[in-house]
């Protein structure tokens, strides 16, 4: 985002594209990155808890 901000401030490049790029990056930083941090534990803990459920519980 810093690069796009610098280009926009300097008046270089396609200003409409840079504005969209900055908005997209802000959305990603605000809405996507926090979810990634919140999901780190479940993703890295493995499936141990899932496999603790007996198979019969899935076949009803």
* Highest-pLDDT range among 11-15, 37-41, 44-48: 37-41
8-to-5, 23, 46 alpha-carbon distances in Å: 5, 13, 44
Question: What pTM does this model have?
Answer: 0.54
Residue matched to tokens 């610098």: 6
What mean pLDDT comes out for the span 12-33?
Answer: 89
Q: Which residue has better confidence, 34 or 1?
A: 34
**Can you tell me the distance from the alpha carbon of 12 to that of 21, in angstroms, rounded to the nearest whole number?**
14
- Examine the pLDDT at 43 and tell me if it is beyond 90: no
Domain count, the chain: 1
Mean pLDDT, rounded, for 29-51: 86
Domain of residue 29, residue span: 2-58
């Amino acid at each position: 985002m810093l690069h796009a901000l610098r280009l926009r401030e300097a008046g270089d490049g396609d200003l409409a594209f840079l504005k969209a790029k900055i908005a997209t990056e802000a959305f990603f930083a605000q809405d996507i990155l926090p979810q990634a941090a919140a999901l780190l534990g479940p993703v890295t803990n493995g499936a141990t808890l899932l496999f603790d459920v007996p198979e019969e519980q899935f076949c009803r």
